[in-house]
C-alpha cells in the first residue's frame, strides 16, 4: 500500500506542513502523500482509532491536541513523556503507534552551531517553551534561565528540569548582558496579537543570538528591535521546518533539505508573511 501521512489539529487549513512534506516527498521520489485533517474537539479518540485502522504511516499533531493525544497512543517516547506533549506519531513495523516530540530539537537545530556552555535566556514558560527547555537539557546545556510573566510557571519548569533558574521579566531585562542566546517564546508580536515587547533589549550582549519562535510575521517586533543592536536574529520558520524535517526522517529514514525549504517558504509566504 502507498504510504500516507497526515497532520491533525483544529483549525488546520492554515498549516504549512502539507505543502512542506509533499515537496520533500516529491524531491526524494518517495511514493506517499501527506494530508491535513481537521479533528473536532470531542472526536480525538475516534480520529486516532480511524488513522490506525486506515493504516496511516505516521502523523503530526498540532494545537489543540498535543497533550490530549498521549493516552490514545500505544507508546510515548521518554522525551515526549517528559514534555507532556506529542507532535509526531510514528508507525512501527509491528504496527504500533509511538509518540515523539520534535519541536524543541527542531528549534535548537534552527539555531545552527551553538555551544552547550552558552548561557540561555528563555522568555515564556508555555507549551513551546517546555519542549525547547527539555531539548536544551537533553543536549547537555546547563545554563538556562526562564523568565515568565507568571513567575510560578517558570519556577515549576526550572525545578522540573533541574538546570533552569526562574526570574521575572524585569529581572531578565536588567541582567540581559549575561546571556549568549535569547529565545522569545510568547505569542507577543504574532499577527493580530499584542505587538509589545516582553522585555527591553538595551542591555543585549554585542554577540548575542536572538531568536523568536513566532513566524507570522517573519520579522516580529522583538526581532526588529534586536536588529537595531546588530546581533544575529533567527525567526520561527527554522523551528517549523526543522521539527518537520525530524518527523520526516523518523518516518522515511532520510533527512530532507531544510535550507531549501526555508527559502521556498519565505518566497511562498512573502517577505513578512502577513502585514499587521
Active site residues: 66
Q: Per CB under 6 A, does 148 bind ligand NAP?
A: yes
Among 12, 129, 132, 204, binds ligand NAP (CB under 6 A): 129
Nearer to ligand NAP, 3 or 114 (CB): 114
Contacting residue, 97, 100, 215, 273, with ligand NAP by CB under 6 A? 215
Binding residues for ligand NAP, total number by CB under 6 A: 25
Q: How many Cβ atoms are within 10 Å of 92's Cβ, its own excluded?
A: 11
Instruction: List the x/- string, 227-266, binding to ligand NAP by CB under 6 A.
Output: ---------x--xx--x-----------------------
* b/e code 6-21 from CB counts within 10 Å (16+ = b): bbbbbebeebbbbbbb
Q: Please, what is the minimum distance in Å from the beta carbon of residue 235 to ligand NAP?
A: 8
Look at strands 58-61 and 181-184 and give their pairing: unpaired
CA distance 86 to 213: 18
3-state secondary structure 205-264: CCCCEEEECCCCCCCCHHHHHHHCCCCEEECCHHHHHHHHHHHHHHHHCCCCCHHHHHHH
C-alpha angle 261-28-93 in degrees, rounded to nearest 5:
110
Which of 149, 155, 205, 227 is close enough to bind ligand NAP by CB under 6 A? 149
Q: Which of 6, 182, 183, 214 binds ligand NAP (CB under 6 A)?
A: 214
Residues 82-121 that bind ligand NAP (CB under 6 A): 103
Least distance to ligand NAP, CB of residue 185, Å = 6
CA distance 260 to 218: 17
Q: Which residue is nearest to ligand NAP (CB)?
A: 126
Contacts of 205 (CB under 8 A, 6+ apart): 176, 177, 178, 179, 180, 231
124 is a contact residue toward ligand NAP (CB under 6 A): yes
Which listed residue (57, 88, 101, 186) binds ligand NAP by CB under 6 A? 186
Q: Does 7 help bind ligand NAP (rule: CB under 6 A)?
A: no
d(CA 212, CA 187) in angstroms, rounded, equals 10
With residue 35 as reference, give the H or E element that holds it. Answer: strand 32-38
Identify the residue among 125, 183, 208, 245 touching ligand NAP (CB under 6 A).
Answer: 125
Give, for 17, the enclosing helix (H) or strand (E). Answer: helix 17-27
State which residue, 58 or 198, has the beta carbon closest to ligand NAP: 198
Residue closer to ligand NAP, measured from CB, 36 or 124 = 124
Told to check if 6 binds ligand NAP by CB under 6 A, we report: no
Q: Which positions touch ligand NAP (CB under 6 A)?
A: 103, 124-129, 148-150, 153, 185-188, 190, 194, 198, 213-215, 236, 239-240, 243
Amino acid at each position: 500500500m502507498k504510504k500516507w501521512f497526515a497532520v491533525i489539529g483544529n483549525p488546520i487549513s492554515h498549516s504549512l506542513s502539507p505543502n512542506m512534506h509533499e515537496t520533500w516527498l516529491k524531491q526524494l521520489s518517495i511514493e506517499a502523500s501527506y494530508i491535513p485533517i481537521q479533528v473536532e474537539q470531542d472526536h480525538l479518540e475516534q480520529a486516532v482509532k480511524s488513522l490506525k485502522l486506515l493504516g496511516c504511516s505516521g502523523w503530526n499533531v498540532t494545537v489543540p491536541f498535543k497533550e490530549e493525544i498521549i493516552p490514545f497512543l500505544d507508546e510515548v517516547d521518554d522525551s515526549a513523556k517528559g514534555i507532556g506533549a506529542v507532535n509526531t506519531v510514528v508507525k512501527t513495523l509491528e504496527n504500533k503507534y509511538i509518540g515523539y516530540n520534535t519541536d524543541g530539537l527542531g528549534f535548537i537545530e534552527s539555531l545552527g552551531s551553538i555551544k552547550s556552555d552558552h548561557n540561555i535566556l528563555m522568555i515564556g514558560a508555555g507549551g513551546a517553551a517546555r519542549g525547547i527547555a527539555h531539548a536544551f537539557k537533553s543536549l547537555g546545556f546547563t545554563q538556562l534561565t526562564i523568565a515568565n510573566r507568571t513567575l510560578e510557571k517558570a519556577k515549576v519548569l526550572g525545578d522540573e528540569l533541574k538546570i533552569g533558574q526562574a526570574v521575572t521579566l524585569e529581572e531578565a531585562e536588567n541582567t540581559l548582558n549575561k546571556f549568549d542566546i535569547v529565545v522569545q517564546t510568547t505569542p507577543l508580536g504574532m499577527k493580530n496579537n499584542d505587538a509589545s515587547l516582553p522585555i527591553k533589549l538595551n542591555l543585549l550582549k554585542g554577540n548575542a543570538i536572538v531568536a523568536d519562535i513566532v513566524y507570522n510575521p517573519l520579522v516580529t517586533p522583538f526581532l526588529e528591535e534586536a536588529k537595531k543592536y546588530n546581533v544575529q536574529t533567527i525567526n520561527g520558520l527554522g523551528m517549523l521546518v526543522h521539527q518537520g524535517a525530524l518527523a520526516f526522517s523518523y518516518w522515511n529514514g532520510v533527512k530532507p533539505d531544510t535550507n531549501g525549504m526555508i527559502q521556498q517558504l519565505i518566497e511562498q509566504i512573502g517577505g513578512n508573511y502577513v502585514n499587521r
